[in-house]
Amino acid sequence: MKTRLARHWISGAMIGLTYLAAVLATLPLLLILAHLLKKGASSLSLSFFTSMPKPVGEAGGGMANAIVGTLILIGIACAIGLPIGIGAGIYLSEKRSTPLAQSVRFLSDVLNGLPSIVMGIFAWKFLVRGYVGHFSALAGGAALGAMMIPLVTRTTEEMLKVVPVSLREAALALGYPRWRTSISIVVRTALAGIATGALVAVARIAGETAPLLFTAFGNQFWSTSLREPIAALPLQIFTYAISAYEEWHAQAWAGALVLISIVLVISLAARFATRSRFGAPVD
Amino acid sequence: MTAVPAQAASTDRRRLKVHETAIGDRIYEIVTTFCALVVPALVIAIAITIFAGAWPAFSKLGLSIVTSSDWDVNAGKFGAAPAIFGTLVSSAVALIIATPLAIGVAIFLSEFSPTWLRQPIGFLVDLLAAVPSVVYGLWGIFVLVPMLREHVMPFLRDTLHLGATPFFSGPAYGPSMLAAGVILAIMALPYISSVSREVLLAVPRSQREAALALGATRWEMIRDAVVPYAKSGIIGGIMLGLGRALGETMAVTMVIGNRPEISASLFAPGYTMASLIANQFSEATSDLHLSALTAVGAILFVITLIVNAVARWLVWQVSRDRAV
């Protein structure tokens, strides 16, 4: 039988350990951000955004092509992922318990857990080998878009679910057809939330590398053609990081700093958008 | 007399409107149903594509793709055992490191944290999930791996005398199974902790009050009344983290050393299924090579599918109980 004192000591010690866990768990993020700032900021200048990569051995140069390439890929991904994801989300919230709705919910989770490299193989078979015939921006963007669909579907459904039923009933009672009710009342009310979900999905795919390895492939030159291989920031960081050259390592750090800034700004924006939504009603 | 045509006209208009409404609703329904159908269609297309692509390798190589450790592209030998081993071991190491930390944070946030700290710490931990994999890899190559090589590995092997066991023996190169495990632990942590936090917060207050009223200390309350209640949800969170770790590609490829050998030592370089595909797929020329890599992808697909399905089911059970 443990004494009362011993039990209190154990309790105190274990609670102390949870404090320690909290410190240890926040440490990696702070360390990563600190290293990115320390090593990346020195190579970061205006020319990093405006100039092209330089060959090995020459200092300087930038990732203009990769930054533009990433934006193009995100654009393609959004063009595919947003309409389908939002449409599927609306379906799920309108028809909550049909067999299709339930299987879509389950399969969205399956897609969410699909390793991104497997999505890469799929896009390669379908688009690189099947449709275009070679590596292309289109294939890369489509792979990212397919990854966005389940994310956007589930967040859209969540956001539509919290719209009060009374709003819908009021609109229907006033003689609005169902589709107008859905678009002008329900979706309109949840728009901020749906936009937040879209932002989170963009933040997640912006940094994806694995599905681009054998779809977008990367490109050392300037290209904005959708049917040609295209450079992407994450791919460029990967290539530079595993190379053997100091100059390239410096460029990789700078690229990573840019990439994480994009991702963190989007994540923070999404975070604050949801907070104000739940705090005070905004239009 | 004049009322009759007017009434007819209004009925007509109403009929027209009802008609329009029905068409609008119909179109709206068709469009949203089509969008919803894309999800199952995509899953089916992926499954068919991957398994059809993997079929030549499975039929030609048979079980040897899983059991053999001989991966020689030129000789046409494709044994992925080291990659499967590496995926399982690196994920296991990740869970061993991440689980206690993640549950510790979750308990801290749900039970002990001062209110003003709850949001910022929860947010910082959640942000770990937003950091791109390639950034983890970059940090892994230039910060984590040197640190493991210079400090952690010698400490484990010599100072703690763990070098006597096969798991921590051998030279410390740096890129290793251990490095992959640590990176994966950091990446899986936010998934485990956010699910655990949710299910711990869902434990009814009465559960805690009853334990305290019976004279339990605060820790005993957590251990005996709160955690058991949330157990299956926490396990679900761990499985979600595992699913994440199994499929992770870039960060692991950058720090694991990419050597297709099975070694008991965590200090030795290894390989994973995802990094095998990442390294070789775009350069594969022979059909059998491509098919073998697709087969590795198919195995990975099935493993993560099972892990994720079990995870969702466990979490769903807890949230269903809460709803009742």
pLDDT, one tens digit per residue, over A43-62 is 888 888 888 888 777 777 78
Q: Collect all residues with Cβ–Cβ distance below 8 Å to A12 and sequence separation of at least 6.
A: B219
Nearest CA in chain A to B187: A28
Show the domains of chain A with their CATH numbers. Answer: 63-279 (1.10.3720.10)
Contact A103/B111, CB-based, under 8 Å? no
CATH superfamily of B81-323: MetI-like (1.10.3720.10)
Interface mutation vs chain B, best among A73, A117, A233, most B CBs within 10 Å: A117
Strand-pairing partners, residue B292, are none
| Residue of A36, A86, A242 lying closest to B254 (CB–CB) | A242
Average pLDDT in chain A: 89
Contact B46/A21, CB-based, under 8 Å? no
Average pLDDT for residues A197-222, to the nearest whole number?
A: 91
Q: Collect all residues with Cβ–Cβ distance below 8 Å to A254 and sequence separation of at least 6.
A: A40, A41, A43, A44, A48, A63
Contact A84/B45, CB-based, under 8 Å? no
The CA–CA distances, whole Å, from A234 to A1, A207, B116, B258 equal 58, 6, 35, 20
CA A68 to chain centre: 17
The CA–CA distances, whole Å, from B299 to A154, B21, B269 equal 27, 49, 22
Asked if residue B50 lies in contact with residue B297, where contact means CB atoms within 8 angstroms, the answer is yes
Mind spelling out the 3-state secondary structure of chain B?
CCHHHHHHHHHHHHHHHHHHHHHHHHHHHHHHHHHHHHHHHHHHHHHHHHHHHHHHHHHHHCCHHHHCCCEECCCCEECCHHHHHHHHHHHHHHHHHHHHHHHHHHHHHHHHCCHHHHHHHHHHHHHCCCCCHHHHHHHHHHHHHHHHHHHHHHHHHHHCCHHHCHHHCCCCCCCCHHHHHHHHHHHHHHHHHHHHHHHHHCCCHHHHHHHHHCCCCHHHHHHHHHHHHHHHHHHHHHHHHHHHHHHCCHHHHHHCCCCCCCCCCCCCCCCCHHHHHHHHHHHCCCHHHHHHHHHHHHHHHHHHHHHHHHHHHHHHHHHHHHHC
pLDDT at A281 over 50: no
Residues on chain A touching B27 (C-beta within 8 angstroms)? 179
| Residue of A112, A238, A252 lying closest to B250 (CB–CB) | A238
Q: How many CA atoms lie within 13 A of B79 on its CB side?
A: 13
Q: Look at the alpha carbons of B303, B304, B309, B312 in this order and tell me if their dihedral is positive or negative.
A: positive
**What's the CA gap between B109 and A19, in Å, rounded?**
9
CA distance B264 to chain A (A): 26
CA distance B265 to chain A (A): 24
Contact A113/B243, CB-based, under 8 Å? yes
Residues on chain B touching A260 (C-beta within 8 angstroms)? 131-132, 135
Nearest CA in chain A to B139: A32
The CA–CA distances, whole Å, from B161 to A101, A223, B167, B266 equal 57, 55, 11, 15
Contact A121/B53, CB-based, under 8 Å? yes
pLDDT of residue A275: 62
Contact B135/A32, CB-based, under 8 Å? yes
Asked if residue A194 lies in contact with residue A157, where contact means CB atoms within 8 angstroms, the answer is no
Strand-pairing partners, residue A230, are A217
pLDDT of residue B272: 96
Enclosing H/E stretch for A84: helix A64-94
Contact A106/B104, CB-based, under 8 Å? no
CA distance A110 to chain B (A): 7
**What's the CA gap between B61 and B292, in Å, rounded?**
9
Q: Collect all residues with Cβ–Cβ distance below 8 Å to B106 and sequence separation of at least 6.
A: B192, B193, B194, B196, B197, B200, B234
pLDDT of residue A279: 38
CA B58 to chain centre: 26
Contact A271/B123, CB-based, under 8 Å? yes
Asked if residue A113 lies in contact with residue A106, where contact means CB atoms within 8 angstroms, the answer is no
pLDDT of residue B324: 39
CA B18 to chain centre: 49
CA distance B89 to chain A (A): 17
In this prediction, residue A234 has a pLDDT band, given cuts at 50, 70 and 90, of very high
Nearest alpha-carbon partner for B202 in B234, B173, B170, B239: B234
| Residue of B25, B101, B124 lying closest to A177 (CB–CB) | B25
The pTM assigned to this predicted structure is 0.91
Q: Which residue has the higher pLDDT, A274 or B29?
A: B29
Contact A178/B297, CB-based, under 8 Å? no
pLDDT of residue A278: 42
Contact A108/B39, CB-based, under 8 Å? yes
Q: Collect all residues with Cβ–Cβ distance below 8 Å to A242 and sequence separation of at least 6.
A: B141, B254
Residues on chain A touching B189 (C-beta within 8 angstroms)? 25, 28
| Residue of B21, B112, B186 lying closest to A18 (CB–CB) | B112
Contact A88/B248, CB-based, under 8 Å? no
Q: Helices A4-40 and B115-127 meet at what angle, rounded to 10?
A: 50
Contact B305/A264, CB-based, under 8 Å? no
Q: Going residue by residue through chain B, which has 324 residues, state the pLDDT in tens, using 9 for 90 and above.
A: 444 555 555 555 555 566 667 888 899 999 999 999 999 999 999 999 999 999 999 999 988 899 999 898 888 889 999 999 999 999 999 999 999 999 999 999 999 988 899 888 988 998 999 999 999 999 999 999 999 999 999 899 888 888 888 888 888 888 999 999 999 999 999 999 999 998 999 899 999 999 999 999 999 999 999 999 888 889 989 999 999 999 999 999 999 999 998 999 999 999 999 999 999 998 888 899 999 999 999 999 999 999 988 888 887 777 666 543
| Residue of A8, A103, A122 lying closest to B217 (CB–CB) | A8
CA distance A193 to chain B (A): 18
CA distance A252 to chain B (A): 8
Nearest alpha-carbon partner for A73 in A147, A130, A153: A147
CB pairs under 8 A between A and B: 268
Contact B43/A107, CB-based, under 8 Å? yes
ipTM over 0.85: yes
Residues on chain A touching B294 (C-beta within 8 angstroms)? 121, 125
CA distance A94 to chain B (A): 9
Residues on chain B touching A110 (C-beta within 8 angstroms)? 43, 305, 308-309
3-class DSSP assignment, residue A53: coil
Say which range, A71-75, A136-140, B320-324, has the weakest mean pLDDT: B320-324
Contact B38/A122, CB-based, under 8 Å? no
Contact A32/B25, CB-based, under 8 Å? no
The CA–CA distances, whole Å, from A226 to A142, A146, A211 equal 11, 17, 16
With left for phi above 0 and alpha for psi between -120 and 50, is residue B165 left, alpha or beta?
beta
Tokens of B234: 């926490």
Interface mutation vs chain A, best among B131, B223, B296, B300, most A CBs within 10 Å: B131
Neighbours of A121 (CB within 10 A): 32
